[in-house]
Amino acid sequence: MSMFRSSVQIARFAATKASFGARFAYKPCVGLNLARFESSLSDKNSLNTKSIAFTYSKGPVTVKYTPEHEWVSIHPDGTTFVGITTYAADALGDATYVELPSDLIDQDVEQGNTIGSVESVKSASDIYSPVDGTVTEVNEVLDEKPALINEDPMGEGWITKIKLSDGFKDDDLLSKEEYVKLLEEADE
């Protein structure tokens, strides 16, 4: 079977590489400027340090990511801000509606639960909770101005505030380096 295994890997590698070329392909500009795109991946997907998602507390603020292209900024009192990354916002295109978890306020959510969606160009994209906790607030500005998701996805375009439940460990979440690496691999 060892003969099988090596060729399986090669075949899979080739298939993955081909398939990722098509990722978000409707936006023709995304894949083209690869060099510029990659060099700025890390900067682009950083939290806006002037926004409330960062300035809410004196810190230290931990920023984590998920493979579903969400970010979460964790403050010392257990308050977190959740949103989608710049990469995701760019890929989805102009947001026309943000479904906020207003019906979940004061309710407990678990990591991976669906807590809302972003609609853009006829696509409804689900948003998942990156943490375990209680939804405490939604960003109502997005109701009036969904475009904020594209303008400042990692700052004023935060979607919801979740208070971490006791003992939640962020081990499953990605660091910025890990997330950027995932993006680079995806666009290779």
Partner 1 sequence: MYTIKRGTCCLHRYSSKIVYLERYFSSKRVLYHDNALSAGERSKYSHAVSSTDAIRNQLELDENLEGFFNEDVVKNVKRSNAQTKSETNTTNKDLVSMDPSEIPIYDEKGNCTTPGISTFKSEKLSFVENGSSPIPNERTSEINDELNGNQVKNATKDNNQFTLPESFSVGNLKRFLDFFHKGDSPDPNKIPANAKLEQFVDSKLPMVFISRFRDPRINLSIERYIYNHLPDAKKHQFAKRLVLYRNAPCIVIGKNQNPYKEINLHLANILQIPILRRYSGGGTVCHDLGNVNFSFMAGKSLFNRTGFTNILIKALNSIVDKEYANLEFPKFPLTTNAKGDMVNAINQHKVSGSAYQLSKGRYLHHGTMLLNADLHAMSGLLHLSPEKKACIEDKSIKSIPSPIQNISMDPELFEYCCVNSFSSTYGVPSFLHRSTKSNLLDLKFGNAECRVMKLDNISDLPEEVINEYKTFKSWNWVFGRTPKFKLHFKVGEDLEVCLHVHEGRIVEMETSREDPSLAKLRANLGNVYFRGSEVSCYVEDADIAKGFEWNIDQGVHYQESLGLQLN
Residue in the block written with tokens 């997005």: 142
Which is nearer to partner 1, 6 or 43 (by Cβ)?
Answer: 6
Q: Does 120 bind partner 1 (CB under 8 A)?
A: yes
Q: Using CB under 8 A, which residues numbered 121 to 150 contact partner 1?
A: 121-126, 128, 143-144, 146
Q: What is the DSSP letter of 37?
A: H
Backbone torsions φ then ψ of 186, nearest 5 degrees:
-65, -30
C-alpha pair distances (Å), 47 with each of 6, 14, 108: 41, 34, 25
Task: Report the residue from 17, 33, 57, 103 that binds partner 1 according to the rule CB under 8 A.
Answer: 103
Q: Does 11 bind partner 1 (CB under 8 A)?
A: yes
Task: Report the residue from 19, 43, 58, 166 that binds partner 1 according to the rule CB under 8 A.
Answer: 19
CB-based burial, 26-50: b 16+ in 10 Å, e otherwise: eeeebeeeeeebeeebeebbbbbee
Q: Which range of residues in 12-20, 54-62, 73-81, 175-183 is near partner 1 by CB under 8 A? A: 12-20
- Which of 47, 53, 105 has its CA nearest to residue 79? 53
Q: Does 112 bind partner 1 (CB under 8 A)?
A: yes
- Residues in contact with partner 1 by CB under 8 A are 3-4, 7-8, 11-12, 15, 19-20, 22-26, 68, 96-97, 99, 103, 112, 114, 117, 119-126, 128, 143-144, 146, 186
